[in-house]
Amino acid sequence: MITVNTKEHPWHKGMTVRTVIQEKGYTFTHLVVRVNGSPLHESLYDSFEIHDGDEVLVLHLMAGG
Amino acid sequence: MSKILKEYTYTPAKIDKGYSGKSLYIHVGDLRIEEKEVTEFMKEKFVGGKGFDLWYLWHAVTPETRWDSPENEIVMSAGPLGGITQYSGTGKTLVCAISPLTDIPIDSNVGGYYGPLLKFSGWDALELQGKADKDILIFIDGNKGHIIIEEADDLPEDSHLLAEELTSRYAENEQDKVNVSVVSTGSAAKHVLMGMLNFSFYDPRRKTVRFKQAARGGLGTIFRDKHIKALVVKYKGIKGDTNNPADLATLNRVGIKYHKQMHDLDDKQNAMRKIGTANTIMVMDKYDLLPTRNFQTGGDPDAYKISPQVFINEYLTQGIHDGCWYGCTMSCAKTADHFPLKTGPYAGQCVTVDGPEYECAAGLGANLGIFDPQAVLEQNFYCDTYGIDLISYATTVAFIMECYEREEISQEDMGGLDLRFGNAQASLELMHQMSRGEGFGPLAGLGIKKLKKIFVERFGADENLLDDIGMENKGLEYSEYLHKESLAQQGGFALTNKGPQHDEAWLIFMDMVNNQIPSFEDKAYALYYYPMFRTWFGLCGLCKLPWNDIVPADNYLTDTPAKVPEHVQNYVEIFNAVTGKNIDKEELILQSERVYQFQRIFNIRMGKGLREHDSAPYRSMGPVTREEYLSRQERYDKQLQELQGLDPSTMTLDEKIAKTRAYREKQFELLTDAVYKRRGWTNNGVPTIERLQELGMDLPMLLEIIKPHL
């Protein structure tokens, strides 16, 4: 199990940041990702592996109204 | 030639560090024109823009003043940063008055050239008081120092005709048209309470007059009630240092850094230069936030028909600079050019439509169940030229449509209009009725608060249902975001000074998706910081969009990416560079809070501004009807289990709706408690003397208002 934006989410082997984004249905593209507190550049989303127990933050920088 | 009623000459004040040091007072009833000194006290406590507006308005009115009282003023001011050309979004005018919809001060932040040209003509603010007995026009020539008030009976009513005519009249030639700006409204403003003001700027690339709107709260209605047909200002000679900043080099440095970000990153981020604020339509739909059919649900399978790509590919002119003030590289003021109208008095003509902004597509599209881009743009045009606030219009008509479909009112009650969701022709006819002052138009134009009462008393509608589904707070209609799942945004709309407009706080993603502010204290902090920060734009004459609709490439490395720290620092630096002061980011917030607390007390002075006035319709908090609950049943059932420990499988639908409602209403009250505490207010929403003392705002005139409530 991992947490995504502080809520539990099932972990599976081979999970990457991109997988998390897809499984959560996050279609907005302007994101800030942090894994266990460390910021991650967008170029690493496909390759950065998520481990069981990781804390993932996927912050949507939606400017809004 | 129109009859001249009054002439006045003056020596235009030289701008010094963002201020002219003078404001202009015009009584349109007795044609009195006076100059006032802008004092150091005003600059210290109120900064400018909306702060100056509220200060003058306070002294103009009494607690008994209503929107149509002669003493009610329309006040406008550009703020000390207004008119600089080095940074994006710096040409805003702030407009205030006692609103016909809310009976308290309304403030609107508008682009176009009027405010900066007014300041460069020598005036930090303009007060318009009294009522003329016939239609008038007020022309300010900022180069010559000459003001003329003249009769204006012969001028057209609708903005797109009126502003074109006046721009041509006062410009010496085609090149001179950019030096003229017109404030006007339209033919509907005489007949509705949601009339708005158009602020013009001439677009030399399209060779047409363009508009931005001071839309909210009925400013256009007051304008026409005063029999003002138009304001015109002309000033020639704008340069990079016209604001006479204290430190031009810093202004240039910060501006160049910002413009490079815009050039390098906008295409990868929000594409503001291609589509403007409408870029978010499909994002809102995917995240269940696009208000659909009177805020019942947050999306629709047909939303793709009004997607940004549809507008880009089929309607909006691309590749032309679209700033509404010089130097704005965000360039988000898009247009549909040569747009053929199909209805109304201008049917068959091709016009330039300024838009659609997000609020237009969401409000006049999804919230009315109209997924037809042509109809969205045609409504957009007519709202603008008729002088109708399209947000109040859309939210009001969505309410009417739901009342009709639920058989709370009949087609006969609406004078025969078939105002059901999706009927664009009926909506357009309603607009034309507003313009002509005929049929159901003027009644609909009263806005939701008054309509609720009329529908109950005159048509026998269910009062409780109408209170639940009528999306207004303080008398102002909600802007176009579905926010039931964001408790923080429920507060962001309802716990506001002027009513539910999104320019105080927009916390939906931070709260609902990012889960960054889980506790009441977290939400209360956000509902302190963001309203204060965003108020500051209105004090200085700035646009909000350049703050966070583009962010630096390394913003993700910061501790608080939602605040966009580098851009906050930019604002600190350009404020200091213009004014010569030495504020930091903490003082920036305090500058805003002084005005924010002042406005709250102003509301109390007008008989509002207490906790009871911050209440919200239940539709803004949760599912009112069975259909709403069932449309998101999995979500709501899960919340019953996880948040309340209930077993939804053993409950009836009505029991589930009732339990959900009780829980959510309690959450809103707890949020209100936390926000009031964080803002330094009593549990009844009254600013405390202690907080005012800390801010240096313990002015006797304010203490006199709050003491009876403490």
Determine the pLDDT at residue B2.
87
Q: Is the peptide bond prior to B356 cis by the omega test (within 30 degrees of 0)?
A: yes
Taking phi over 0 as left and psi of -120 to 50 as alpha, with beta for the rest, B92 belongs to beta
Distance in angstroms (rounded) separating the CA atoms of residues B277 and B273: 9
Q: Is B562 on the interface with A (CB under 8 A)?
A: yes
Say what the alpha-carbon torsion angle B670, B475, B417, B185 is, to the nearest 10 degrees: -130
Determine the pLDDT at residue B499.
98
Q: Is B566 on the interface with A (CB under 8 A)?
A: no
Residues of chain B with pLDDT under 50: none
Domains and CATH numbers, chain A: 2-60 (3.10.20.30)
Distance in angstroms (rounded) separating the CA atoms of residues A24 and A7: 11
Instruction: Name the minimum distance, in Å, from the CA of B549 to any CA of chain A.
Output: 5
Query: Closest by alpha carbon to B152, among B200, B185, B112?
Result: B185
Determine the pLDDT at residue B355.
86
pLDDT digits (tens, 9 = 90+) for B445-461: 999 999 999 999 999 99
Distance in angstroms (rounded) separating the CA atoms of residues B430 and B419: 9
Pairing assessment for the beta strands B228-234 and B208-214 based on DSSP bridges:
unpaired
Distance in angstroms (rounded) separating the CA atoms of residues B503 and B479: 10
- CATH code at B487-550+583-709: 1.10.599.10
Determine the pLDDT at residue B73.
98
The partner residue sitting opposite B515, judged by closest CB among A6, A39, A41, is A6
Q: With contacts defined as CB-CB under 8 Å, which chain B residues touch A28?
A: 283, 286-287, 509
The partner residue sitting opposite A39, judged by closest CB among B269, B514, B557, is B557
How many Å is the maximal CA-CA distance in chain B?
79
Q: Which residue ranges make up each domain of chain B?
A: 4-234, 270-477, 487-550+583-709
Provide the number of CB pairs (under 8 Å) joining chain A to chain B: 62
The partner residue sitting opposite A59, judged by closest CB among B269, B280, B516, is B516
Overall CATH class of domain B4-234 = alpha beta
Determine the pLDDT at residue A65.
72
Q: With contacts defined as CB-CB under 8 Å, which chain B residues touch A39?
A: 556-557
Instruction: Name the minimum distance, in Å, from the CA of A51 to any CA of chain B.
Output: 20
Cβ(B86)–Cβ(B255) under 8 Å? yes
One of 3.40.50.10860, 1.10.569.10, 3.20.20.140, 1.10.10.10 is the CATH number of B270-477, namely 1.10.569.10
Task: Flag if B359 and A59 touch (Cβ within 8 Å).
Answer: no
Cβ(B229)–Cβ(B192) under 8 Å? no
Query: Closest by alpha carbon to B241, among B521, B15, B395?
Result: B15
Cβ(B431)–Cβ(B386) under 8 Å? yes
Q: List residues of chain A with CB under 8 Å from any CB of chain B.
A: 5-7, 25-28, 30, 32-33, 39, 41, 57-65
**DSSP line for B290-355:** S-BTTTTBS--TTGGGG-HHHHHHHTB--SS---SSTT-SS----EEEEEEP-SSTTTT-EEEEE-
Determine the pLDDT at residue B542.
98
Cβ(B670)–Cβ(B495) under 8 Å? no
| pTM recorded for the entire structure | 0.97
Q: With contacts defined as CB-CB under 8 Å, which chain B residues touch A60?
A: 509, 513-514
- For residue A9, the number of C-alpha atoms closer than 13 Å in the C-beta half-sphere is 23
Determine the pLDDT at residue B167.
98
**Touching A: B residues 356-385, CB under 8 Å:** 358-359
- What's the complex ipTM? 0.93
C-beta pairs of B283-286 under 8 Å, 24+ apart in sequence: B283/A27, B283/A28, B283/A62, B284/B358, B284/B362, B284/B481, B284/B482, B285/B366, B286/A25, B286/A27, B286/A28
Q: With contacts defined as CB-CB under 8 Å, which chain B residues touch A59?
A: 514, 516, 561-562
Query: Closest by alpha carbon to B613, among B484, B492, B497?
Result: B497
Q: With contacts defined as CB-CB under 8 Å, which chain B residues touch A58?
A: 514
Distance in angstroms (rounded) separating the CA atoms of residues B105 and B505: 18
Task: Flag if A64 and B287 touch (Cβ within 8 Å).
Answer: no
Task: Flag if B269 and A58 touch (Cβ within 8 Å).
Answer: no
Cβ(B367)–Cβ(B409) under 8 Å? no
Query: Closest by alpha carbon to B656, among B670, B669, B668, B646?
Result: B646
Task: Flag if B515 and A7 touch (Cβ within 8 Å).
Answer: yes
**DSSP line for A17-60:** HHHHHHHTT-----EEEEETTEEE-GGGTTTPBP-TT-EEEEEE
Kindly state the tokens that stand for B361.
């597509």
Determine the pLDDT at residue B460.
98
The amino acid at A34: R
- Encode B208-229: b = buried (16+ Cβ within 10 Å), e = exposed: bbbbbbbbbbbbbbbbbbbbbb
> How many helices and strands (H and E) does chain B possess?
27, 17
Domains B270-477 and B487-550+583-709 share a fold: no
Cβ(B179)–Cβ(B235) under 8 Å? yes
